[in-house]
A and B are shown apart, each in its own frame.
Chain A
Amino acid sequence: MHLSFLTIQILSALREAAFLFLISSGLTLIFGVLNILNFAHGSLYMLGAYFIFWLTIHFAGPTAFFFALIAAPLGVGLIAMLIEMGLLRRIYVQEEIYQLLLTYSLVLILDDLAKIVFGADYKSISKPACLSGAVHFLGSTVPVYTILVVTAAPVIAVLMWLLLYRTRFGKVVRATSSDREIADALGINMTRIFTLVFGIGAVLGGFAGALAGPVRTVFPTAGDEVIIQSFVVVVIGGLGSLWGAAVGSLLIGALETVGIILFPNFEMALIYLLMVAVLIVRPWGLFGKPIKTRSLSEKNPGMDAREISPVHYSTHPALRYALLVGLLLLPLFAGRYYQYLLSEVFIAALMAVSFNLLLGTTGLLSFGQAAFYGVGAYTVALFLTKTGMGTLPALALGVLASAIAAAVIGIFCIRLTGVHFAMLTLAFGQLLYTVAFKWYGFTGGDNGIQGIPAKPIFLGGHPIDIWSIKGMYYFILVIVWVSVALLRRVRCSPFGATLKAIRENGQRAAYLGLNVKMHQLAAFVIAGAFTGLAGGLYAVMSRSITPDIINWTMSAEPVLITIIGGIYSFAGPAVGAAVFVILNEYIVAWTENWSLVLGLVLLGLVLLLPGGIVGAFNGQARELLVKIRWIKHWAFSKSTESKKPLEDLEPSRT
């Protein structure tokens, strides 16, 4: 091996690491102080790249480039501060998932806005002459720009360290990060600190984008890959730790470079494997500290959190049967388009209802449900195309395969809680995704599997055709209805009640002698199995699958659907699925910018209807009940003399 080869590889690893560090340092700073995992950080990176693109077009010359390198991130920081003051600030008192979703809706909005303003095409940014050359270093040619990038990262790291540990502002930030309530009571204006920290984090993300612009191409969804990579970095390093971000970046940068040489095509899989390995050994990351998961009331005592606590109204059985009859009769008067659309709704509903067994019932935010959806879909597709197996046995095997996958993944994931749980499920999901994406010999790689046959189903010897859209509609309706009924049974059983107790307060549940982890694992496996069934049905219905159904954007779907419908009601996710699929269909038909509209809808829901559609409906009903009770109470108390609590207070002044 030549020395020059080694030099080039090391420098390339360092360059990757430098970009990763610049992005993830902002991410980890924001998490450390605001406790928010900022999904929109990748979009801020993307904005930085677009800003420098715009600036270099309008102002030429080397000094203009350096000016743009400073101005672009500052612009990003300004936008971020406006976002924090206008939107994020309103929901600090809510549960973490709403903050996560708000930043996710920002991804949808910012990415689409960038597309509208700058166009969907790939842009390249020209470097000034003084940075385009190369120098000779240890017998190899090294681009000047690489040297700039590799020096910028440590300089930023040192600056951040100085800011955090050597200035009064830094002390205030660290104090706020360790106990925000006490910091507030001691005269620190948290609101200002939060805005500033969010702004500084955004400046770092924007700077990474501006610096990366000239060497990577710029396009509206450029941030989507970057954000997942920097999640991996901060999770490996430990959320909220600056050193963790540095070490994590170096590890990932090195692994990526080595991976490309040794296992081309599977270097991303290596990275997710590393993340899984680190989280199994050190659940809080290399430099992270365990985050105390606190209940809502503990987190913000006294703050007026809008109440979204679960209240369970059971719908009247007659209503449910009326819905079933309506759906069964529907093909008589609705065309094939609606039958197909509703079949999609049923599959999405099954996925979301089973997902909500984890989120709403057990309190676990799984961000890797697409893994089980994918395992189910791929198992069914492979058995149907490569063997002579019938549809029903293939579906059964799909359920079994995803249950086994959920059991194996679940054993590792349930050791964690909160955002770490979400990140580990995400890592496993992405691991499966990269494997399915590249394993051409087995999964068909990025081509997926085409031409899945729709074999007839034999019921008591009679073949039932599911080839027609109507036949498929009835087939999916029956299976989904039975599955959802089973899931409802699970939720209403004593086992379901135990899961709810674990969500409310896992520690107390454990003190009562419940095996919390076993219950969580069981819920994880049940949810995984039914998600796998939904995936299998999707494979049968669409007759072709691609690895996209395992990507993290697919995992986000049940989360969105559940939030739209309402997490604390059983019917919520099903209602959400109908709204989401149909809305999506119409938005796509109506405008090119469906992700902008979806983002705005999501933003509105998070800000205005934190209980979801069903939750808001239940809330109305509850308000009415409370009022009736209050009026009764008030009428009753009129008749009796109200007792004064201060009756035996002696005069306080003597």
Chain B
Amino acid sequence: MAMLELKSVNTFYGRSHILFDVSLSVEKGEVVSLIGRNGAGKSTTFRSIIGLTAPFSGEVTFKGSPIKGLRPHQICRRGVGFVPEDRRCFPDLTVRENLEVVARRQKETPSPWTIEKVYSIFPRLREREKNLGSQLSGGEQQMLTIGRTLMTNPELLLLDEPSEGLAPLVVKMLAEMIIEIRNEGVTVLLAEQNIHFCARVSDRGYVIDKGALRYGGKMSDLISNEEIKEKYLAV
């Protein structure tokens, strides 16, 4: 049984059709990438999964049970953690409050995420504990949003463009942290534009363009597939 499965999902914003028959699956313990250019439909796929934009048709199942049509907080409580793009941490709350406010224990997690555990992966956050979310740098905000979502103790983490707008050195660190999170037993679905970042952390990937999936397979095959890269990922 796949951890997450999408079957021909179609999503609309008002009258505009955004996702066309998107089907994908993520197995437990995997890091899977969803790669595509700006506006390809990555964020909409995530919004469809977490329920912020409910799909018009198709199926979304998490651990075998359907989650389409549930409210976002219900989907979150089942174990789907969403890390939004643009690092939307709560600006009026301190770093510690940002982490505390969403803390939630899932019944089945053997070693739940705590503030201490988040600090051990992102030591920088401990130093900025008393600062407001709005006072952090871009990289720190990204760590905070990831750490914040981990505090909901998700089994599946949806990471939306974590490397966007970060310095190359920070991106490299981020890749290591994602692997560390995977080693903690969290399954990750990663949306990215940066194919090399994906190749570093994941072994399987999908390519999305104009709201439809164009490729699904091993990252190593994708890296060498010049045609797909040229057609859907070249800027």
Residues of chain A whose beta carbon lies under 8 Å from any beta carbon of chain B: 168, 171-172, 174-175, 177-179, 181-191, 297, 301-302, 307, 644-646, 648-654
Contact = CB atoms under 8 A, between A and B. Distances in A.
Contacts of B211: 645
Contact of A179 (B20, B71, B88): B88
Contacts of B221: 654
Contacts of A177: 92
Interface in B129-153: 148-149, 152
Given A185-B52, A302-B53, A649 B216 contact: yes
B170 interface: no
Given A182-B90, A297-B13, 6 more contacts: A178-B90, A185-B72, A302-B54, A645-B211, A651-B216, A651-B217
Given A174-B93, A646-B21, A186 B13 contact: no
Contact of A645 (B20, B54, B81, B93): B20
A646 B149 contact: no
Contact of B14 (A181, A297, A648, A649): A297
B177 interface: no
B150 to A, nearest CB: 11
B119 interface: no
Contacts of B23: 646, 652
B76 interface: yes
Interface residues of B, dominant DSSP:
mixed
Contacts of B165: none
Candidate in B20, B25, B102 with the most chain A CB atoms within 10 angstroms:
B102
A646 B92 contact: no
A186 B82 contact: yes
B113 interface: no
B101 interface: yes
B200 interface: no
10 contacts: A171-B101, A175-B93, A175-B102, A183-B90, A184-B72, A185-B50, A301-B52, A302-B13, A307-B14, A654-B218
Contacts of A652: 23-25, 206, 216-217
B47 A302 contact: yes
Contacts of A174: 90, 92-93, 97, 101
A481 B72 CA distance: 52
A387 to B, nearest CB: 58
Interface string B196-235: 0000000000100001111111100100000000000000
B66 interface: no
B104 interface: yes
B149 A186 contact: yes
Nearest to B98: A175
A649 B215 contact: yes
B211 to A, nearest CB: 8
A186 B81 CA distance: 7
